Structure 1
Amino acid sequence: MLNVVDDVTRECLAAIPDTSISGRRVARELTTLIERRGKPGMIVSDSGTELTSNAILRWRSEHRIEWHYIAPGKPMQNGFVESFNGRMRDELLNETMFRNLAHARIVITAWATDYNTERPHSALDYRTPADYAQTPTTAIARPAARDESSARRAIAQPAPTGVNTNRAPVAPG
């Protein structure tokens, strides 16, 4: 599965099942997405071989797209996508007996469409990802909104002004 998810709108932009997905295939799919949706500010991914291949390195250079690889063994650095993948696995992949690849493509496309158009998300003010993406909002229009994606989110927010953060260490009891 190649899943491409927009951190801002929460949309599943692509859910591509196949028996094998090479770096060249990923590059073709990303090119198609850019033609349809525009160029992203950054792509965040793990360091899988298809995503670190010469085809992807060449593609990102040619398209001048910043790419951030999460640290090995740190899937929460791309937490929303990991959550999406888990939801897809639990709701669809573990529950469906696919007859063949064509059947898998149909069922997975239907699930992604339902995810995008029928399921409201609390993070989107209980709107669907497709609805949120269609409405010009400050969150989408402002370039700073991209800085708040999981790719750049701080691990912990700084302490509010006036809160004492200089605490003595506590010995284990």
Structure 2
Amino acid sequence: MIDPTAKLSVSRQAIMLGISRGSVYYKPRPVSDADLKLMHRIDKLHMEFPFAGSRMLRGLLVQEGFKVGRLHIATLMKRMGIEALYRKPNTSKPAPGHKIYPYLLRKLPITRPNQVWAMDITYIPMARGFIYLAAVLDWFTRRVLAWRVSITLEADFCIEAVEEALAKHGTPEIFNTDQGSQFTSTDFIKVLAAREVKISMDGKGAWRDNVFIERLWRSIKYEEVYLRAYASVSEARAGIGRYLTFYNTRRPHSSLDGRTPNQAYFNQPMPEAVAA
């Protein structure tokens, strides 16, 4: 897909293909078929039982016939970038030296587009592997403003998504994430600080703080990802892109009085019903 001998730079080729620059140079370690099967099942169980930690997930998997230890499940969960969604003390572990910002959304009325944006990362299973999906979401309208996929959990694909959202949609008042190392990295913070965006961070596992983007992950997985078996990263990107276009432009939301995220974001009225 990427041709190092081409006249076009590797970075430019990556941008045109919609993949993170860091992924181009990453040499993935092979994942066994058994672990891939486990990871795909863990992902579905996590969607169904987001409060389940490694101990409970092991019990659920054993009930289904898997022979696996709790520590191995915990290792796979870490690789997938997921953890049980419940508030617990001292669980957020950003990279050493990274600054943590306070949570700014507690009891804050969110009443308009571009007041608060949120960002998160999720695991996306494929037929023979997996990728990660990062998305920037407008909190009030649920509109996906930008997204990227990557084969690594490095920060650069998150930075690219944020830069695209800022370029296309202006500057939010507040940007909220968890305390993951991607979001506390110096390069990520610089992008927001340059625009004088207020940075808000919740703790990992604080499900109330991430509820809207968790609903997005649930929708995209049950309505798109779990119905497919992507054969390649490019196929996954195309399928996700089609779904997110549908999500923004055609999928009605009860929380938006039946409007789509695009209608709510651009303050468009509901279309009039066509008489039978």
TM-score, with structure 2 as normaliser: 0.46
Query: Could you list the per-position Cα deviations for residues 29-51 of structure 1 after superposition, in whole angstroms to 9, with x for gaps in the alignment?
Result: 21221111010111111122211
**Residue 89 (1) aligns with residue 221 (2):** yes
In the superposition, relative to structure 1, how do residues 17 and 24 fare at CA in structure 2: closer, same or farther (>3 Å)? closer
Q: Conserved in 2, the CA contact under 8 Å of 1:6 and 1:13?
A: yes
Amino acid paired to 2:206: K
Shift of 1:95: 2.3
User: Which residue of the other structure, out of 171, 193, 197, is the alignment partner of 1:65?
Assistant: 197
Deviation at residue 120 of structure 1 after TM alignment: 1.1
Structure 2 residue matching 1:16: 3-state secondary structure: strand
Aligned partner (choices 163, 167, 175) of residue 35 of structure 1: 167
Corresponding residue of 2:152: 20
CA distance in 1, matches of 2:168, 2:251: 22
CA contact (8 A) 1:15 1:108 kept: no
Please give the residue correspondences for 1:143-154 in structure 2 after superposition, counting only pairs within 5 Å.
none
> 1:136: Cα distance to partner?
6.4
SS at match of 2:172: coil
Aligned residues: 137
For the residue of structure 2 that corresponds to 1:94, the secondary structure is helix
The reply to whether residue 44 of structure 1 matches residue 176 of structure 2 is: yes
TM-score, normalised by the number of residues in structure 1: 0.72
CA distance in 1, matches of 2:177, 2:205: 12
What per-residue deviation string (whole Å, max 9, x for no partner) do you get for residues 62-119 of structure 1?
Answer: 2211111112221221211111112212222222111111111110000001111111
C-alpha distance in 2 between matches for 1:86 and 1:69: 22
TM-superposed deviation, 1:14: 2.3
> What are the residue-to-residue correspondences of 1:133-172 with 2, within 5 Å?
133-135=265-267
- Match for residue 78 of structure 1? 210
- Quote the offset at 1:4 in angstroms: 1.4
Question: Share of identical aligned residues, percent?
Answer: 24
Higher helix fraction (1 or 2): 1
- Counterpart CA distance in 1 for 2:256 and 2:213 is 16
User: What residue ranges of structure 2 are gaps of 5+ in the alignment?
Assistant: 1-132, 270-276
**Who is 1:151 aligned against?**
none
Alignment of 1:120-139 (within 5 A): 120-135=252-267
Structure with more contact order per residue of length (Cα contacts < 8 Å, sep ≥ 6): 1
RMSD of aligned alpha carbons: 1.8
